[in-house]
Amino acid sequence: MAAIVTDQFRILNANNFVETVDNSANSYYVVVGLANPALAVGFGRTTDWNTNTPNPVDNINYLNHAGDTQIFGKKVTSANVRRLITRRNWTQGTRYEMYRHDYSVTSPSPVTNSTRLYASNYYVMNKNFDVYVCIDNGSSGISTTGNASQDEPLFTDLEPSRAGESGDGYIWKYLFTVPPSDIIKFDSTEYISVPGDWPTSSETQIQSVRENGDSTINNNQIKKVYIDKQGFGYSQNIIGREVDIIGDGSGAKVVVDTDSNGKIIKTNVSSGGQGYTYGMVDLGPLGNSGVSVGNQAKLIPIIPPSRGHGFDLYKELGTDKLLIYARFDDSTKDFPTDTKFAQISIIKNPTSIGSTTIYTANDFSSVNAVKVISPTGTPTIGERIQQTVTDGTAEGYIVSYDTDTNVIKYYQDRSLYFNQTTSDQTDFVGVTTEAKVLQFESSAESIIAPTSGFTATVDQTFTGISTNPTGNKVISLGVNFTNGLASPEINKKSGEIIYLDNRPLITRNSRQKEDIKIILEF
């Protein structure tokens, strides 16, 4: 049986995702991780990670491994999510396509040959970040591609209008303006961000466009009747004859002109009516009974989005993509400035450490930490650290080392416990103790980093969330320490990783902020 997944299903899925973000029962986070992609090889990690970054693998094992190496998470709110459409800047001399309800495989758009409306170039954004839909491009069955656009639309009037005096035949309908705040967060060379709360917004401009498009309020829906075939033999030299548009709606009328041969040469919708999903122009008043077979005109009422242009912006523009924005800066010690990362993910509903309650704070640290004293040397980010503990050797990979506070942050990547020769689960001598995950302890045993030669001991006397090593400056540590040790703020085995991106290693510094923009396409 033949079947399709429709564009409307994709739009629905995008809308549903936004709704889940808005739902207070959910917590989504953009997460960065993996400080040492080329060192801890195996299970998707490679020594040439930065020059030949591997694609992530969509299986449970790979995602669990990614969870091991999470470093820091920033909460996603509805303010940082926007629906997207493909960016189409207005350019003089370009042929744009008009909005039509009937583009298909058998009737593709005439300029881009698109088989679906949303792939055609039927809308534009001007230099002021105003977005318009093309109602008319001067096309007909005689000139299917229409005219080249000469006048940039710059108006923000509610009714469709021409943009200038060139006579290019274009009629544009203003939809919205991308606000400056969204330009800063969501602007890109490929996409336009669409207002996030269009159906409910009380912002004056949005509300005006939405209500102006609502045909149940203003009784004005159909905007264009396309002359596919002019016909021949209708009443001659008719100027301004108003006729009905027949269909499943009501109230629509179009004014028709003919020439000396009885050809239809012009149409102008005088009343858009409401409730149409199809229509036929009744040319009976123009003497269609006398028109011979094969000479009948074909006039196509262009059916706008349900309830009119501008009412349901997401359906009208086909918003099946989302952009999620997150800014990572040095505003919290949870995200150290000296770390590195090579994975970006989105995680849904992690739980608070030691609990089954969904974590809800604005950010989280997902690494362990140890406050040390008597350090010797400087460790390298990504290298291995060790400590002799009660049952063997605890191991981790360094994520950060703060020389002001003497705090080491680390994660315990499962690659620490593989066969170090084969970088996998092949049996090896010492597996009994070396493959066992052991936690660092608050003891007098030294913490060492064999590669760099760094050594230190745990500050067993330190408990708290801040310190003032110089005596005059309190420094927040981001996480709470007990006897020199701190746990992640989330259960690292909790939550669902719904997005994962591998990237060449990014090195942070104190003078840098990272703007992360993730595009999801449904």
Q: What is the mean pLDDT of residues 41-65?
A: 90
CB 243 within 8 A of CB 282: yes
Structure tokens at 503: 């990237």
Q: Tell me, what's the pLDDT at 182?
A: 95
Q: Token match 């005059």: residue?
A: 472
Q: Tell me, what's the pLDDT at 492?
A: 92
Q: Which of residues 513 and 85 earns the better pLDDT score?
A: 85
Tens-place pLDDT, residues 143-159: 999 999 999 999 999 99
Confidence of residue 511 (pLDDT cuts 50, 70, 90): confident
Give, for 389, the enclosing helix (H) or strand (E). strand 384-389
Q: Tell me, what's the pLDDT at 510?
A: 77
Q: Tell me, what's the pLDDT at 334?
A: 77
Amino acid at 154: L
Q: Tell me, what's the pLDDT at 2?
A: 80
Q: What is the mean pLDDT of residues 351-375?
A: 96
Tens-place pLDDT, residues 178-193: 999 999 999 999 999 9
Q: Tell me, what's the pLDDT at 475?
A: 84
Q: Tell me, what's the pLDDT at 332?
A: 66
Question: Residues with Cβ < 8 Å from 467, sequence gap 6 or more?
Answer: 371, 405, 474, 475, 477
Tens-place pLDDT, residues 2-34: 888 999 999 999 999 999 999 999 999 999 999
- Rounded distance, CA 172 to CA 138, Å? 12
Q: Tell me, what's the pLDDT at 44?
A: 78
Pairing of strands 384-389, 340-348: unpaired
Pairing of strands 81-86, 191-194: antiparallel
Confidence of residue 507 (pLDDT cuts 50, 70, 90): very high
- Rounded distance, CA 418 to CA 194, Å? 47
Q: Tell me, what's the pLDDT at 353?
A: 96
Q: Tell me, what's the pLDDT at 420?
A: 83
Q: What percent of the chain has pLDDT above 90? A: 85
- Rounded distance, CA 153 to CA 141, Å? 25
CB 140 within 8 A of CB 226: yes
Instruction: Specify the range with the lowest mean pLDDT, choosing from 307-321, 460-474, 488-502.
Output: 460-474
Q: What is the mean pLDDT of residues 66-75?
A: 95
Tens-place pLDDT, residues 241-275: 999 999 999 999 999 999 999 999 999 999 999 99
Inter-CA distances, 298 with 230, 283, 293, 343, Å: 7, 10, 12, 57
Give, for 137, the enclosing helix (H) or strand (E). strand 130-137
Q: Three-state DSSP class for 5?
A: coil
Q: Where are the domains of the chain?
A: 29-75+324-521, 225-301
Tens-place pLDDT, residues 192-246: 999 999 999 999 999 999 999 998 888 889 999 999 999 999 999 999 999 999 9
**pLDDT over 90 (residue 336):** no
**pLDDT over 80 (residue 43):** no
Which residues, listed in sequence order, are joined to residue 507 by a DSSP beta bridge?
A: 340
- Rounded distance, CA 183 to CA 198, Å? 17
Q: Token match 């996030």: residue?
A: 196
- Rounded distance, CA 88 to CA 330, Å? 36
Confidence of residue 41 (pLDDT cuts 50, 70, 90): confident
DSSP 253-307: EEEEEE-TTS-EEEEEEEEEEE--SSEEE--GGGTGGGPPTT---EEEEPP-STT
CB 120 within 8 A of CB 107: no
Which residues, listed in sequence order, are joined to residue 250 by a DSSP beta bridge?
A: 274
Number of Cβ atoms within 10 Å of the Cβ of 467: 19
CB 246 within 8 A of CB 280: yes
The pLDDT mean for the chain works out to 94
Q: What is the mean pLDDT of residues 300-305?
A: 96
Q: Token match 């503990």: residue?
A: 389
Inter-CA distances, 367 with 35, 486, 507, Å: 11, 9, 17
**pLDDT over 90 (residue 35):** yes
Q: Three-state DSSP class for 19?
A: helix
Tens-place pLDDT, residues 84-103: 999 999 999 999 999 999 99
Structure tokens at 449: 């980093």
